[in-house]
Amino acid sequence: MRRHRIAAIPGDGIGQEVIDAGVRVLDALAKRDGGFGLAFETFDWGSDYYRKHGVMMPADGLARLKPFDAIYFGAVGAPDVPDHVTLWGLRLAICQSFDQYANVRPARILPGIQSPLRNATAKNLDWVIVRENSEGEYAGQGGRSHKGLPEEIATEVAIFTRAGVTRIMRYAFALARSRPRKLLTVVTKSNAQRHGLVMWDDIAGEVAVEFPDVTWDKMLVDAMTMRMVLRPETLDTVVATNLHADILTDLAAALVGSLGIAPTANLNPGGKFPSMFEPIHGSAFDIMGKGIANPLGAFWTATMMLDHLGEKAASAALMRAIERATADPTLHTPDLGGKATTKAVTDAIIGFIQGGNT
């Protein structure tokens, strides 16, 4: 029996509700499959922990996570704790220390989900956006001097390294090659950002030579937003910097009909450190505790985690169960315009899994 150790970090807000649901679903899948087992350990890190201890996770937090095969993460962010504290104290601390340099965000219209784009369907909108996740605009470089004085200055320095850009480019080309269309779009802003992003373009050209079977093109990020809306069918795999892809993935999540469904993998492709899987929706304090959070983002995320663990059959079964749920409007939570609860959707998915017909 294959055994996988999973660290669950539900975190804040609805993160707790959806990770709870995700663990139930994953347990049901493992039971049905019979070939693998999942051992979860849950960590109570996040904003509550911060209020008690003044830190988002203990000093040995990363050392405790390191032996796990994967991290299943809910969300961080609370109204009374500054966002940069919650983020840098937990999520970004994990992503950066564990060198999870590839952030992978599929965007696809699932059955029964209405895109705000008039003509978009599952057939013509099926993307994977690869976000550089270790440097760029999120490198944390910079500072403030003369705080509060009229001459105060602040710098926020974007860092692009040849090693960092080359590895994300290779990851993106390889991912594009693994998909039927073998099509990659490299996004930059190399007309205005004339150093780091011109290097992106150069390195894209160099890496492309290693992947002669992949068709690729370049887009400036502003024009890319228009192309995503007006010609979604011309895109397949996309690679962009940390900040550009942050923005593009919100647009993508909106275009596929709900932020509540979108998943993310923060991958350390070499496997030296555990990778981390999270729904993209965040802590959503406005609906916390109401039992109406959409758990499908956490479930789709779980399919990515299962893929990463090598459990392809279980991953595919869960994805089919998710698509069955989205196809049924009585299983739509309020973010999709329905009335279903987190529990009802979770129970239905578990029912599909146990029924063996997903």
Which residues of the chain form contacts with Mg ion (CB under 5 A)? 246
With CB atoms as reference, the residue minimizing the distance to Mg ion is: 246
Q: At its nearest, how many Å lie between ligand IPM and the CB of residue 177?
A: 25
Nearer to Mg ion, 221 or 321 (CB): 221
Longest CA–CA separation in the chain, Å: 67
Name the binder of 267 from Mg ion, ligand IPM, none, CB < 5-8 A by kind. Answer: none
Nearer to Mg ion, 12 or 246 (CB): 246
Name the binder of 99 from Mg ion, ligand IPM, none, CB < 5-8 A by kind. Answer: none
- What is the radius of gyration, based on Cα positions, of the chain? 20
Nearest Cα to 241, choosing from 162, 135, 132? 132
Cα 208 from Cα 213, distance rounded (Å): 9
Cα 226 from Cα 232, distance rounded (Å): 9
Cα 217 from Cα 238, distance rounded (Å): 10
**Interaction mask 194-233, ligand IPM, x per CB under 6 A:** ----------------------------------------
Which of positions 262-301 make contact with ligand IPM (CB under 6 A)?
280
Nearer to ligand IPM, 263 or 325 (CB): 263
Task: Give the residue, chosen from 20, 246, 311, 323, that forms a contact with ligand IPM under the rule CB under 6 A.
Answer: 246
What 8-state DSSP symbol labels residue 193? S
Taking residue 66's Cβ as centre, other Cβ atoms within 10 Å add up to 13
Instruction: Name the amino acid, one letter, at 57.
Output: M
* Residue/partner pairs of 202-207 with CB below 8 Å, 24 or more apart: 203/162, 203/165, 203/166, 203/169, 204/169, 204/239, 206/166, 207/166, 207/169, 207/170, 207/173
End-to-end CA distance of the chain: 22
Nearer to ligand IPM, 86 or 333 (CB): 86
Is the distance from CB of 107 to CB of 125 less than 8 angstroms?
Answer: yes
Cα 18 from Cα 21, distance rounded (Å): 5
Q: Which residues pair with 73 in a beta bridge?
A: 9
Nearer to ligand IPM, 2 or 84 (CB): 84
Instruction: Name the amino acid, one letter, at 197.
Output: L
Q: At its nearest, how many Å lie between ligand IPM and the CB of residue 182?
A: 27
**Interaction mask 72-101, ligand IPM, x per CB under 6 A:** ---------------x--------------
Name the binder of 87 from Mg ion, ligand IPM, none, CB < 5-8 A by kind. Answer: ligand IPM
Name the binder of 69 from ligand IPM, Mg ion, none, CB < 5-8 A by kind. Answer: none
137 binds ligand IPM (CB under 6 A): no
Q: At its nearest, how many Å lie between ligand IPM and the CB of residue 68?
A: 21
Nearer to Mg ion, 77 or 89 (CB): 77
Cα 158 from Cα 141, distance rounded (Å): 7
Interface with ligand IPM (CB under 6 A), residue total 3
Is the distance from CB of 260 to CB of 293 less than 8 angstroms?
Answer: yes
Interface positions with ligand IPM (CB under 6 A):
87, 246, 280
